[in-house]
Amino acid sequence: AQSVTQLDSQVPVFEEAPVELRCNYSSSVSVYLFWYVQYPNQGLQLLLKYLSGSTLVKGINGFEAEFNKSQTSFHLRKPSVHISDTAEYFCAVSALYNQGGKLIFGQGTELSVKP
């Protein structure tokens, strides 16, 4: 079984400042890793994903994340945030095999960007 822990429920930050949203996971099998963004009353949009290969993954809207296998982490970063980045962010994992593609989500991190 897998589990995901997002270490911060809320992250307030000023516009143009850098931000890091932390995600740790636990799994007995190899996993794919994802970050999604959710704007109010909307579905989820994929920001980026790690499947294999380079541990530094670049996504949309200037976000990137680094997979660290030894620390079982997949933290999301952006060097300079905008007001429009205010949203809920979810980290998720999916087992590579045998679980039908189920996604296990973290609790979410509310990013609030202030002017």
- In the bound complex, what is the minimum distance in angstroms from residue 80's beta carbon to other proteins? 27
Angle, vertex CA 63, rays to CA 97 and CA 79, nearest 5? 145
Query: With CB under 8 A as the contact rule, which of the stretches 14-22, 56-64, 66-74, 97-105 interacts with other proteins?
Result: 97-105
Nearest residue (CB) to other proteins, 17 versus 46: 46
Token representation of residue 46 = 């994929």
Q: Which stretch binds other proteins (CB under 8 A): 15-23, 55-63, 77-85, 92-100?
A: 92-100
49 binds other proteins (CB under 8 A): yes
How far is Cα 6 from Cα 32, in angstroms, rounded to an integer? 16
Minimum separation from the CB atom of position 106 to other proteins (A): 7
Nearest-5° Cα angle at 12, 88 to 114:
100
Q: What is the DSSP string of 86-98?
A: -EEEEEEEEESSS
Q: Which residues bind other proteins (CB under 8 A)?
A: 32, 36, 41-46, 49, 51, 90, 94, 96, 100-103, 105-108, 110
